[in-house]
Amino acid sequence: MRLVFLGPPGAGKGTQAKLLAKEEGLVHLSTGDLLRTAIARGTPTGLKAKSFMDAGGLVPDEVVDVLIEERLREPDARAGFILDGYPRTLAQATALARMLAAARTPLTRVVLIEVQDERLVARSSGRRSCASCGAIYHVSSKPPRREGVCDGCGGRLDQRADDREEVLRERLRVYREKTAPLVAHYGAQGLLARVNGDLPIGDVTRAVRLASRGAAA
Ligand code: AP5
């Protein structure tokens, strides 16, 4: 499987990508996670990305294209991958198509996780992520056993800086303007599968599993 997970901020792309990647032995590539790691390490990429991310805008295409191209060249990606949060513009989709054509590994499916806007704010404002292993929780829909502590590794749970409501509203605006056109783009290529992301996490997982294999969800 070579998949793209598409959807607005807070739709559940990361939650579902982690589950499916583990189940199917795929590499989970989240540009958001790669960029946050680069910022935490103070790398040149992190320094370039920080101001765009803090403001809820998109990091320039050439920065994320290089990150993905380098990561897709690593041997583990040959077994299959889930791209979570990439591509996010038509220019990134074109760059990705070029990379995958060169490797003769075209996408097998693009899974769109659709969620009503009013839920997205509640999901993002309640999100907590493990600073050590990246596991994703939610204060009400997926709480950890001990408040502030990761069930899996005991790491500290943090709130993302860009989950403040005013930044989230900007991320949603940018999604509609720059990323939503990818729905028609991949629809025209016959690659798109839509999943109702408004359902509880387990129901969405079942639908994503079917959609990723190409069956109607
Ligand atoms: P990124 O980290 O990719 O953020 P995003 O796409 O905005 O998506 P999120 O991570 O916010 O949400 P998600 O859909 O993964 O939801 P999650 O599973 O966590 O990008 C951040 C920034 O980096 C961007 O703004 C941009 O600046 C930059 N960037 C990244 N990629 C880029 C690119 N390609 N080009 C340029 N710039 C780029 O779930 C959310 C919450 O809801 C969690 O708490 C979860 O527990 C809960 N939840 C999930 N599913 C359900 C459910 N079914 N029911 C109830 N609760 C649920």
For the segment 87-98, what is each residue's pLDDT rounded down to a tens digit?
A: 999 999 999 999
Query: Average pLDDT, stretch 95-113?
Result: 95
Catalytic residue among 18, 127, 194, 209: 127
pLDDT higher than 70, residue 128: yes
Look up 13 and say whether it is catalytic: yes
Percent share of the chain, pLDDT over 90: 83
| Residue located nearest, by CA, to atom 55 of ligand 1 | 141
Instruction: Establish whether 88 is a catalytic residue.
Output: yes
Q: Which of 88, 109, 194, 209 is catalytic?
A: 88
Query: Of 60, 62, 70, which is closest to residue 95 (Cα–Cα)?
Result: 62
Q: Is 143 in the pocket of ligand 1 (CB under 6 A)?
A: no
pLDDT number for residue 162 = 87
List the domain boundaries for the chain: 2-116+179-212
Question: In angstroms, rounded to a whole number, what is the distance separating the alpha carbons of residues 2 and 105?
Answer: 8
pLDDT band, residue 52 (cuts 50/70/90): very high
Cβ-Cβ contacts under 8 Å for 120 (sequence gap 6 or more): 8, 9, 10, 11, 168, 172
pLDDT given at position 216: 42
pLDDT at 217 over 50: no
Mutation probe of ligand 1 site: the residue of 61, 125, 136, 205 with most atoms within 8 A of C-beta = 136
Q: If you average pLDDT over residues 205-211, what whole number do you get?
A: 96
Q: What is the pLDDT of residue 166?
A: 86
Ligand 1 atom nearest residue 168's Cα: 7
pLDDT band at 134 (very low <50, low <70, confident <90, very high): confident
Q: Which has more pLDDT, 118 or 43?
A: 43
Contact 171, 9 (CB under 8 A): yes
Q: Is the CB of 134 under 6 A from ligand 1?
A: no
Q: Is the CB of residue 144 less than 8 Å from the CB of residue 151?
A: yes
Q: What is the pLDDT of residues 156-201, one digit of tens each?
A: 999 988 888 889 899 999 999 999 999 999 999 999 999 999 999 9
Question: Is 3.40.1390.10 the CATH classification of the domain at 2-116+179-212?
Answer: no
CA atoms within 13 A on the CB side of 193: 21
Kindly state if the Cβ of 205 falls inside 6 Å of ligand 1. no
Q: Is 206 a catalytic residue?
A: no
Contacts of 49 (CB under 8 A, 6+ apart): 35, 38, 39, 59, 63
Torsion angle of C-alpha atoms 135, 105, 180, 82, degrees rounded to 10: -10
Rounded CA separation 147/88 (Å): 33
Q: Which two tokens stand for residue 142?
A: 């997926």
171 is catalytic: yes
Q: Does 58 sit in the ligand 1 pocket, CB within 6 Å?
A: yes
